A and B are shown apart, each in its own frame.
Chain A
Amino acid sequence: MKTGAKILIEGLQREGVETIFGYPGGVVLPIYDELYNSSLRHILVRHEQAAAHAADGFARASGRVGVCLATSGPGACNLVTGIATAYMDSVSIVALTGQVPTSLLGNDAFQESDITGITLPITKHNYLVKRTEELGHVIREAFYISRTGRPGPVLIDLPKDVSTKEIEYEYPESEQVNLRGYQPTYRGHTRQIDKAIEMMMEAERPLLYVGGGVISSNASAELVSLAEMMGIPVTTTLMGIGAIPCDHPLNLGMLGMHGTRYANYAVTESDLLIAIGVRFDDRVTGKLDTFASQARIIHVDIDPAEIGKNKRVDVPIVGDSRAVLQEMRERIQKRKEYERWLSRIRTWKEKFPMRYPRDGVLRPQFVIEQLSELLAGEGIIVSEVGQNQMWTAQYYCFRHPRTWITSGGLGTMGYGFPAAMGAHFARPDQVVFDIAGDGSFQMNIQELGTVSHYQIPVKVAILNNRFLGMVRQWQELFYDRRYSYTELPAVDFVKIANAYGIDGMRVEDSKDVKPALQAAIETDGPFILDFRVEREENVFPMVPAGAAINEMIGGYSE
Chain B
Amino acid sequence: MKPHTLSVLVENKPGVLSRVTGLFSRRGFNIESLAVGTCEEPDMSRITIVCIGDDAQIEQVMKQLNKLIDVIKVSDITENDRVERELALIKVTAEPGSSRAEIMQIASIFRAQIIDVGSRTVVLSVTGDTEKIDALEKLLRQYGVKELVRTGKIAILRGTKTVKSAK
A residues with a Cβ closer than 8 A to B are 116-117, 120-121, 124-125, 128, 145, 179-182, 303-305, 308-309
User: What residues of chain B lie closer than 8 Å to A116, measured between beta carbons?
Assistant: 15
Check if B157 is an interface residue, CB within 8 A of chain A: no
Contacts of A181 in B (CB 8 A): 10-11, 68-72
Give the shortest distance, in Å, between B135 (CB) and chain A (any CB): 39
A308 touching B19 in the complex, CB below 8 Å, given contacts A121-B26, A181-B68, A181-B69: no
Residues in A with CB closer than 8 Å to B67 are 303, 305
**Chain B residues whose C-beta falls within 8 Å of the C-beta of A309 in the assembled complex:** 60
Q: Is the CB of A304 within 8 A of B22?
A: no
Interface flags for B61-73 (1: CB within 8 Å of A; 0: not) read 0011011111110
Assuming the contacts A120-B18, A121-B22, A121-B26, asked whether A182 and B69 have C-beta atoms less than 8 A apart, the reply is yes
Candidates A120, A124, A182, A308; contact of B59 at CB < 8 Å: A308
Instruction: Tell me the complex Cα distance, A145–B70, Å.
Output: 12
Q: Which residues of the partner chain B approach A305 to less than 8 Å between Cβ atoms?
A: 60, 63-64, 66-67
By a CB distance below 8 angstroms, the chain B residues around A121 are 22-23, 26
Contact of A120 with B19 at beta-carbon distance under 8 Å, contacts A305-B63, A309-B60 already known: yes
B56 at the interface (CB under 8 A from A): yes
Interchain pairs with CB closer than 8 A, number: 38
- List A contacts of B59 (CB < 8 A): 308
Which chain A positions have C-beta within 8 A of B18? 117, 120
Residue B165, interface by CB 8 Å = yes
Q: B138 interface residue, CB < 8 Å from A? A: no
A312 to B15, CA, bound (A): 34
B167 contacts partner chain A, Cβ-Cβ < 8 Å: yes
| CB–CB B167/A180 < 8 A | yes
Which chain A positions have C-beta within 8 A of B64? 305
Q: A305-B63, A305-B66 are known contacts; what are 16 more A-B pairs with Cβ within 8 Å?
A: A120-B18, A121-B22, A121-B26, A125-B69, A145-B69, A180-B166, A181-B11, A182-B69, A303-B67, A304-B63, A304-B66, A305-B60, A305-B64, A308-B56, A308-B60, A309-B60
B151-167: which have CB < 8 Å to A?
165-167
What residues of chain A lie closer than 8 Å to B60, measured between beta carbons? 305, 308-309
Going nearest first, the 4 A-B pairs with the smallest beta carbon separation are A305-B63, A125-B69, A181-B72, A182-B69
Complex Cα–Cα for A180 and B26 (A):
25
The B46-103 residues at the A interface (CB cut-off 8 A) are 56, 59-60, 63-64, 66-72
List the A residue with the shortest CB-CB distance to B167: A180
| Set of chain A residues within 8 Å of B22, measured between Cβ atoms | 120-121
Say whether A179 contacts B63, CB under 8 Å: no
Q: Which residues of B contact A308 (CB under 8 A)?
A: 56, 59-60
Contact, CB under 8 Å: B66 / A179: no
A65 to chain B, nearest CB (A): 16
Q: Which residues of A contact B167 (CB under 8 A)?
A: 180
List A contacts of B166 (CB < 8 A): 180
Interface string of B120-159 (1 = CB under 8 A from A): 0000000000000000000000000000000000000000
Instruction: State the Cβ distance, A142 to closest chain B Cβ, in Å.
Output: 10
Q: Residue of A at shortest CB range from B65?
A: A305
Min Cβ gap A552→B in Å is: 30
CB-based nearest A residue for B73: A181
B148 to chain A, nearest CB (A): 31
Q: Are B63 and A180 in contact (CB under 8 A)?
A: no
A180 to B19, CA, bound (A): 17
- Closest beta carbon of chain B to A414's beta carbon, Å: 24
Contact of A180 (CB < 8 Å), options: B15, B23, B56, B72: B72
Chain B hits for A117, CB < 8 A: 18
CA A73 – CA B23 in complex, angstroms? 24
Chain A residue contacts of B26, Cβ below 8 A: 121
CA A117 – CA B22 in complex, angstroms? 10
* Nearest opposing residue in chain A for B71, CB measure: A181
Give chain A residues whose Cβ lies under 8 Å from the Cβ of B15.
116, 128
Smallest CB–CB gap between B28 and chain A, Å? 12
A409 to chain B: closest CB distance in Å? 15
Rounded to whole Å, the gap between the CB of B60 and the closest CB of chain A is 6
Q: List 11 A-B contacts (CB under 8 A).
A: A117-B18, A120-B19, A121-B26, A125-B69, A128-B14, A179-B69, A180-B72, A181-B70, A304-B63, A305-B60, A305-B67
